[in-house]
A and B are shown apart, each in its own frame.
Chain A
Amino acid sequence: MFKDVTIGQYYPADSILHKLDPRVKFLGTVIFIVSVFLVRGFAGYAFVTAVLVTLIALSKVPFRFMLKGLRAILIILCITMIFNMFLTPGEVIFQKWIFKITREGVIQAVRMGVRLAYLVIGSSIMTLTTTPNQLTDAMESLFSPLKVVHAPVHEIAMMMSIALRFIPILMEETDKIMKAQIARGADFESGGIVKRIMNMIPLLVPLFVSAFRRANDLAMAMEARCYHGGEGRTQMKPLKYSGRDIVAYILIFGFLAACIFFRITRL
């Protein structure tokens, strides 16, 4: 169950999206997420869907990898949709006791569902085609103006890339601890919600202990390899824009403009 999260799971392939500068992909993803919340009408979503499908095809990453990420937010997705369905005021199409479903509610629910799903798929495309290191390099470079106000940009980027690298390892570890505790009679599957949460304690305590130990080991390994902050550090893969990155930027801003157009014309 824990292996389903795709964040931080780079899928190596030889596609145009893999080759793009990570800064382009990062900005592109942010703009994509904004756009998903910008458009409201059917035509707008059809357009966004078409773009998304094109991106998936371009990425050469099997679609099921993106769906895996979606499965992880399934519960949030359902809750959002149900709340929107029942709690949006408007023209009632179905009513039973205090529950009523409105036409506006259904539309809103579908819209929220699509937005969340697209948001996850969109960011999955970025994380699947970009190595976490490239991604943090991109963030470091994009946010480097903040260094002027003494924001620890390099440190934050480093922390993020480490966190991303350790997600799969800690997931695996969770799985292992869970099995070990089940073998000793722990029960993670029955009981009410309070009991279930209490049952998680024998899982969380060893997980935290091991995470701290790993952090300690890693810090030492980094120091042993001469890590001493961002100063005087060179990069193995410095970011350089090429021709296709500029084309990509033009396309991204074209896409944003189109979405703003859809919003204004309420299509």
Chain B
Amino acid sequence: MILEQTPDKSRKISWSYILLGISIVTIILFTLAPILWQVLTSVKTNEDISAIPNVYLPHKITLQHYLELFERRPFWLYIFNSALVSIVSTILCLLLGSPAAYALARMKLRGETIILVLIAVVTLFPYALLFLGVLEIIKNLGLGNNYLALIIPYTAINMPLTILVMRSFFRQLPQDLEDAAKIDGYKTISMLTAIILPMTLPALVTTGILTFIFAWNEYIFALTFITEETMKTVPVATAQLGGASLFDIPYGAIAAATILGTIPLVILVLIFQRRIVQGLTAGAVKG
């Protein structure tokens, strides 16, 4: 009986190990293959790109497509635009969102439940339902082809997440701290800047990474509100990289642009994986 059971059990374990191994390899392949293919395409010569059957590993590695982006197009400007709009809107979002989150976490405002429900509901609004109205606001304010035409909407679309993540953070802070500060004679605002703010730095970084990612990736507003070539962001500029004709699509240049446009985000994920997960779950689940 015992003799029979032992080999059976070990075989069962090794099978589940093999299954786990296969799943892990599949997950990695499924995740990385499309990105890897873009990397390969971006360094292939045009002959290799248009070879049939496909050439998988480039015969010759070339940086021609990358150079083309900077020589024939103002790609560094697109990167600058994306960075500027994302960074400024992230800062604004933290600056305006954190006080709001604190008020909703601690100050027992009348009507706070309604506001929280409202914040949760607007996160579900697709941007395609908003661009028409926002376009009108931008026209009325004369902000067409102005960075503010992106900075203001981006700050707003990241506001619900900022408030929900920061609020869940503030609620974890010990209330004693604030009570002690009050006894020491601090007013709410000065207590926030002198005592609470230094403690919130980790949460601000977590939130800021998420808002930066969302701002960098935004497409429909950037497509609609900015038509000036030199003010376009990376996603829009990349999508509009066309050739002279339908048959002259610059696949290599597009691949190079996708790599350049995604590298900042890949680096962020590699460094801040834990924070991204924390922020997302705090925003989605606890909020």
Partners in one complex: no
